[in-house]
């Protein structure tokens, strides 16, 4: 029944497919060129047809309204490696055979039996997708995609910086690699280090917010982690990295403030007066002002000793004489002086 429906659909769209399939769901074709990760041109019966691979979605590279997405060039390159120009392939359609761009919706199988649609998912370069009733190749694609997730390939590779796991790894490495505040030599260097740490913190916080929110985000890299069980763990890793970077920024700001604060003036000290003269030696007495300086007084001369020679001492002086006396040698007799 399913095959009959496909055949009828193909007959109805024969003008679009230009006789590529005539009442059946498969045709031989030759690859002419790869357009991007999920689009390829083939030649059937001398006429070129554009094929859009069913049940996969790959990062954009040639969309007129979108930038080149993460791993878009890698997806196109991988499809070229699977479908070099001149490769003979089998083209298989499903319920709906064309899209609004008049591309043939199909799967491409190689002569060795591999489904190219599934091989793109197995490399981690395509996500499973179903549009309308076309689900013919979805089981093979989903199984291959599960292998890519388990192996961490492509959109799930933590070593590729543009993937979400890669972004988490990058902010962790950036936060742990920040310089410590003790390494700043000047206030300007500390300011620069603080600004760098703050930027890392802001990036990590934005990543944490995106991983914690259920709001849809553009890009296949975010679609790849939308339903992953480890998304909360990745969000927590981003928050931890943000905390580390914030601590570093605060430390550098404090260092900059310290480097800009002038040191306190030295405490006043009392210098002792020199205890020696200019020529050294013994200590000199404190100097006195001329007003307080006193001249030494001369010692009084000793009074001449008066000795009484008595009445029998000779006739050296009148009796009762008390004036000055001049003694003769030997000091026994005297005369008035």
Burial of 223 (0-12, 13-18, 19+ CB in 10 A): middle
CA distance 59 to 44: 27
CA distance 191 to 261: 14
Active-site option among 6, 60, 140, 248: 60
Measured at the CA of 276, the angle between CA 274 and CA 278, to 5 degrees, comes to 95
* Contact by Cβ (8 Å): 9, 34: no
CA distance 3 to 229: 38
CA distance 175 to 228: 25
The DSSP secondary-structure symbol of 64 reads T
**52 tagged catalytic:** yes
**217 tagged catalytic:** no
The DSSP secondary-structure symbol of 156 reads G
Q: Within a 13 Å sphere around the CA of 169, how many CA atoms are in the beta-carbon half? A: 11
Active-site option among 6, 52, 109, 325: 52
Q: In the numeric block, which tokens belong to residue 179?
A: 């310089």
Active-site option among 6, 74, 103, 140: 103
H helix runs in the chain, sequence order:
2-12, 14-17, 72-82, 116-122, 138-151, 164-176, 187-212, 220-225, 231-260
**103 tagged catalytic:** yes
Active-site annotation, residues: 52, 60, 103
């Amino acid at each position: 029944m399913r095959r009959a429906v496909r055949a009828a659909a193909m007959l109805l769209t024969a003008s679009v497919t230009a006789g590529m399939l005539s009442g059946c769901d498969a045709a031989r074709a030759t690859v002419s060129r790869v357009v991007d990760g999920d689009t390829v041109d083939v030649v059937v019966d001398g006429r070129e047809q554009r094929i859009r691979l069913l049940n996969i979605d790959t990062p954009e590279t040639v969309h007129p309204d979108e930038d080149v997405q993460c791993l878009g060039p890698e997806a196109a390159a991988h499809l070229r490696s699977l479908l070099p120009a001149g490769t003979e392939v089998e083209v298989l359609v499903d319920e709906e055979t064309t899209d609004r761009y008049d591309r043939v919706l199909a799967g491409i199988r190689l002569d060795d039996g591999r489904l190219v649609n599934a091989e793109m998912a197995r490399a981690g370069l395509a996500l499973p997708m179903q549009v309308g009733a076309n689900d013919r190749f979805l089981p093979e694609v989903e199984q291959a995609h599960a292998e890519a997730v388990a192996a961490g390939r492509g959109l799930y590779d933590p070593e590729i910086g543009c993937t979400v796991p890669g972004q988490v790894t990058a902010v962790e490495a950036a936060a742990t690699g920040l310089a410590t505040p003790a390494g700043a030599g000047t206030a300007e260097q500390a300011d620069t280090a603080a600004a760098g740490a703050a930027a890392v913190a802001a990036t990590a916080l934005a990543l944490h917010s995106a991983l914690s929110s259920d709001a849809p985000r553009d890009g296949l890299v975010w679609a790849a982690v939308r339903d992953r069980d480890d998304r909360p763990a990745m969000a927590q890793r981003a928050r931890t990295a943000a905390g580390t970077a914030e601590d570093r920024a605060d430390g550098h700001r404090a260092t900059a403030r310290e480097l800009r604060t002038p040191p306190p003036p030295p405490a006043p000290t009392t210098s002792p007066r020199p205890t020696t003269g200019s020529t050294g030696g013994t200590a000199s007495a404190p100097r006195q002002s001329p007003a307080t300086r006193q001249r030494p007084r001369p010692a009084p001369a000793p009074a001449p000793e008066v000795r009484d020679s008595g009445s029998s001492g000779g006739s050296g002086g009148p009796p009762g004489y008390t004036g000055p006396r001049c003694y003769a040698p030997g000091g026994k007799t005297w005369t008035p002086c």
